[in-house]
Structure 1
Amino acid sequence: MSLVDTPAVKRLADWDGDRLERLATEYDTPLYVTDLDRIRENFARFESAFDFAHVMYAAKANTGQAVVRTLYDAGADIECAAAGELYRAIEAGVAPEDLQYTAVNPPDRDLDYAVDLWADTPELTVTAGASMTLDRLEERGFDGRLAIRVNPGIGTGHHEKVATGKDAKFGIPYEEVPELVESARERFEFVGLHAHVGSGVLSGDLDDHRRALQKVADLAARVGDLEFLDLGGGFGVPYRPDEPPLDIEAAAEMVREVTADVDATIALEPGRYLVADAGALLTRVNTIKETPETRVVGVDGGLTSLIRPAMFDSYHHIRNISGGDREPVTSSVGGPLCTSADVFCTDRPIPRSEAKDLLAIGNVGAYGINLASQFHSQPRPAEVAIDGEDERVTRRRETFEDLTRLENEAPGNR
């Protein structure tokens, strides 16, 4: 089977349960497991479908160095939404000329870092989403490759918090772009337009996605003389086990049709599509509590390990690795934090869990470990990357000492 013929989604049931149990035993829990082969497969499938486009990886989905390096080695350039992501990408071995920086209300230190990087690597492209960002770049002596982010006024995606195409925070208002482009052409090496209209787009969202992208493509034709039109990412994956995957060929044909009259390179920035189903979170059951309302299953992972259910009300499939053949019992799975938001699911049928059982949570490769925190003084989890038969720790587990390390190093606490 070639890479492009691999299944469109890796379901949680497809993970080798014996291997996951062994990894949890060897490396403890909570534990992120990242399948690098699956990332390569997803990239090959995406690149094959969008063979007419320049494909970059949207690093914010997962900035782990193993993930970034895997995609870069596979042929993806890297799009970064913050200076720290630029730094992490370079640490992962990405050449600065293969980076694109999309500034969103950038702090001064971010712009300082980006401009210093550009001074040594003039191939770096900076994307600005506010006219003041252009002024701030010019004040720093930047006159290099610049793109302008467009706000088309239409958002798509799985949740209102990711429908960026209609959020005033992101991009220049649509009708103001032509005038700002003329100004940018006088002050910088203006190279393109950029838009990202939402995230988690599946086949049923393609019509809305088309409307948003068509507006941006029409604007690109109106502005003219572009090196590229960057349509962002947003292509989603199914989180529920019975939800069909995105028809990537249909998505590619839609983009091809929308941009048929655009005389510029089409660029895309997939993130979630490449990495989401390549990650699983392993967590161990420590407490079982029967209540009149539900069966409470307490685990050692929590919203500090995976915040998406609390932050976006996101569904993540849960598999009982230890007892998958048991009868399902309506259960609520939650972690060790003192907040009602610390739950992975509520009243969901799950094979009856017992103490010491290993549970796996699926589709955590995107916006999983990147959003982990030390809230409630919880050390962040470790990560193991699997690469064929090979396995390696790519992020060590934090210790209690790590919780106070920065405070102990601060002069005011010595």
Structure 2
Amino acid sequence: MSHASPPVRRLADWDHDRLSRLAAEHGTPLYVLDLDRVAANYERFASAFPDAHVMYAAKAHTGHAVLSKLLETGADIECAAWGELQRAIDAGADPDTLQYTAVNPPDRDLDYAVDLAEDHPGLTITGGARDTFDRLEARGYDGRVAIRINPGIGTGHHEKVATGKDAKFGIPYDEVPGLADEIGERFDLVGIHAHAGSGVLHDDLDDHCRAIAKVAEMGRTVEQSHDLAFVDFGGGFGVPYREDEDPLDMQVVGERVSEAVGDLDAQVKLEPGRYVVADAECILTEVNTVKETPAATVVGVDASLATLIRPAMFGSYHPIRNVSAPDRGAEPVSVGGPCCTSADVFCTDRPVARPEREDLLAIGNAGAYGYELANQFHSQPRPAEVAIEDDDARVVRERETLADVTRVER
């Protein structure tokens, strides 16, 4: 079974010869996606929670190839915007199985979801503000809803993803029982939802389980007066980005989460995103400049913060490996791209097998929020994406041209 695959895939585990061939054929920067790894990660996660309903959080990677592979593997899809709903449907999802988690939803998003629910009443809309429910009612909607609650406990790799204690997300905990009674009279209240944070590893697991226990307790409170179909604990389970970090033992995590949840009549839902896709994708980039300075050896590459913005946005660590010469002696280098900002740096003074001009470097763990956050800063067309599946490789996203960048201008 594929869920028996190693719990983390390091950059050294990729086939370097194949990566070199893909870069030569398709150019750089290039996203390389392993769809078999996506499926294996999902199956490993689902096997740790055999009694839960596991939904993939599409926002981590909304590519058609990823969604199609996960639907084929047996996943349902959770969406955070109307475009994700449409892309899930385009990939083959049954709209009646979708869950839409509305966060400060624009009118367009709510209009789309309400129209979709007219023909597909199985769609569930999750609201995290009283306004959202009022706006749904104003549109004539009275279907399936869930209440997103704020447990007051945030976890994860960065304060910007610790959603469980951010007032932007969810109804304040103490207000939920009263709101549930009100919502139950206006809609079909089917669930309670929460999300504590993102990138949770072993050091964060205690806090994460405290948040889960708090959400479960609210689920039991609401169950006393409402017939809930589910309590959704979100996702947030991380992968080790640094080489010295250990991966989660998902069987242990499953036991810890089950213990934190305790007894619930409603079904447990979980929404992994990052865990499923992060280590299933890397970025290939070519060295174009090596500059020795008194402060650092600067290595310039053709990828940039337009290709992968997470280091600039979150200070995120992504492993880097010299694919062309992995055994060359390592030297501390700073690797950055062609953007005219000091934020365009992938690492600073990090030991890497000494890069030379035209070497191919790989940047790891790019599958979660990598291409999703890619942009066109400096009029850089976004890169191509190649998917590996079984023994085949195919382009699943064409490299943009400058004409693509300027097409919508008038």
Tell me the TM-score range normalised by the shorter chain. over 0.9
Within the candidate set 351, 363, 370, 1:349 is matched to 351
What one-letter code is carried by the residue in structure 2 that aligns with 1:318?
I
User: Matches of 2:78 and 2:3 in 1, distance apart?
Assistant: 23
User: Matches of 2:334 and 2:390 in 1, distance apart?
Assistant: 34
User: Matches of 2:202 and 2:9 in 1, distance apart?
Assistant: 17
User: Matches of 1:125 and 1:340 in 2, distance apart?
Assistant: 43
Following superposition, the deviation at residue 332 of structure 1 comes to 0.4
Q: Does 1:70 align with 2:69?
A: yes
Following superposition, the deviation at residue 205 of structure 1 comes to 1.2
Q: Does 1:28 align with 2:27?
A: yes
Residue equivalent to 1:333: 335
Residue equivalent to 1:197: 196
Residue equivalent to 1:50: 49
Deviations 1:355-384 (A, max 9, x none): 100000000000000000011111001000
What one-letter code is carried by the residue in structure 2 that aligns with 1:215?
K
What one-letter code is carried by the residue in structure 1 that aligns with 2:94?
A
1:242-257 equivalences under 5 Å are 242-257=244-259
Following superposition, the deviation at residue 186 of structure 1 comes to 0.3
Q: Does 1:177 align with 2:179?
A: no
Q: Does 1:371 align with 2:373?
A: yes
User: Matches of 1:99 and 1:322 in 2, distance apart?
Assistant: 43
Following superposition, the deviation at residue 298 of structure 1 comes to 0.3
Following superposition, the deviation at residue 94 of structure 1 comes to 1.2
Following superposition, the deviation at residue 329 of structure 1 comes to 1.1
Misfit runs of 4+, over 3 Å = none
Among all aligned residue pairs of Structure 1 and Structure 2, give the percentage whose two residues are the same amino acid.
67
Specify the SS of the correspondent of 1:10.
Answer: coil
Specify the SS of the correspondent of 1:126.
Answer: strand
User: Matches of 1:203 and 1:315 in 2, distance apart?
Assistant: 17
What one-letter code is carried by the residue in structure 2 that aligns with 1:345?
C
Following superposition, the deviation at residue 260 of structure 1 comes to 2.1
Specify the SS of the correspondent of 1:52.
Answer: coil
User: Matches of 2:59 and 2:3 in 1, distance apart?
Assistant: 24
Residue equivalent to 1:96: 95
User: Matches of 2:215 and 2:405 in 1, distance apart?
Assistant: 45
Residue equivalent to 1:121: 120
What one-letter code is carried by the residue in structure 1 that aligns with 2:196?
V
Deviations 1:178-232 (A, max 9, x none): 1110011100000010000000001121111111111111111111131100000
Within the candidate set 259, 262, 267, 2:261 is matched to 259
**RMSD (CA atoms):** 0.7
Following superposition, the deviation at residue 242 of structure 1 comes to 1.6
Following superposition, the deviation at residue 4 of structure 1 comes to 2.2
Residue equivalent to 2:326: 324
Deviations 1:22-68 (A, max 9, x none): 00000000000000000111111111111010000000000000001
Deviations 1:235-279 (A, max 9, x none): 000001121001211111111112222111000000000000000
TM, length-normalised to structure 2: 0.98
1:139-158 equivalences under 5 Å are 139-158=138-157
Q: Does 1:304 align with 2:306?
A: yes
What one-letter code is carried by the residue in structure 1 that aligns with 2:221?
R
User: Matches of 1:157 and 1:333 in 2, distance apart?
Assistant: 26
Residue equivalent to 2:242: 240
In structure 2, the gaps of 5 or more residues are none
User: Matches of 2:253 and 2:203 in 1, distance apart?
Assistant: 11
Residue equivalent to 1:389: 391
Deviations 1:368-410 (A, max 9, x none): 0000001111100100000011111000000011111011xxx
User: Matches of 2:212 and 2:231 in 1, distance apart?
Assistant: 11
User: Matches of 1:336 and 1:223 in 2, distance apart?
Assistant: 54
Residue equivalent to 2:167: 168
Residue equivalent to 1:402: 404
What one-letter code is carried by the residue in structure 2 that aligns with 1:110?
D
Residue equivalent to 1:294: 296
User: Matches of 1:28 and 1:228 in 2, distance apart?
Assistant: 46
What one-letter code is carried by the residue in structure 1 that aligns with 2:142?
D
Residue equivalent to 1:227: 229
Following superposition, the deviation at residue 105 of structure 1 comes to 0.1
Contact kept in structure 1, 2:210 and 2:260, CA below 8 Å: no
What one-letter code is carried by the residue in structure 1 that aligns with 2:379?
S
What one-letter code is carried by the residue in structure 2 that aligns with 1:301?
A
Residue equivalent to 1:12: 11
User: Matches of 1:356 and 1:285 in 2, distance apart?
Assistant: 5
What one-letter code is carried by the residue in structure 2 that aligns with 1:187?
R
Residue equivalent to 1:134: 133
Following superposition, the deviation at residue 114 of structure 1 comes to 0.5
Moved more, 192-201 or 216-225: 216-225
User: Matches of 1:251 and 1:82 in 2, distance apart?
Assistant: 29
User: Matches of 1:202 and 1:155 in 2, distance apart?
Assistant: 13
What one-letter code is carried by the residue in structure 1 that aligns with 2:109?
D
TM, length-normalised to structure 1: 0.97
User: Matches of 1:87 and 1:397 in 2, distance apart?
Assistant: 23
Residue equivalent to 1:84: 83
What one-letter code is carried by the residue in structure 1 that aligns with 2:298?
V
Contact kept in structure 1, 2:213 and 2:260, CA below 8 Å: yes
Residue equivalent to 1:280: 282
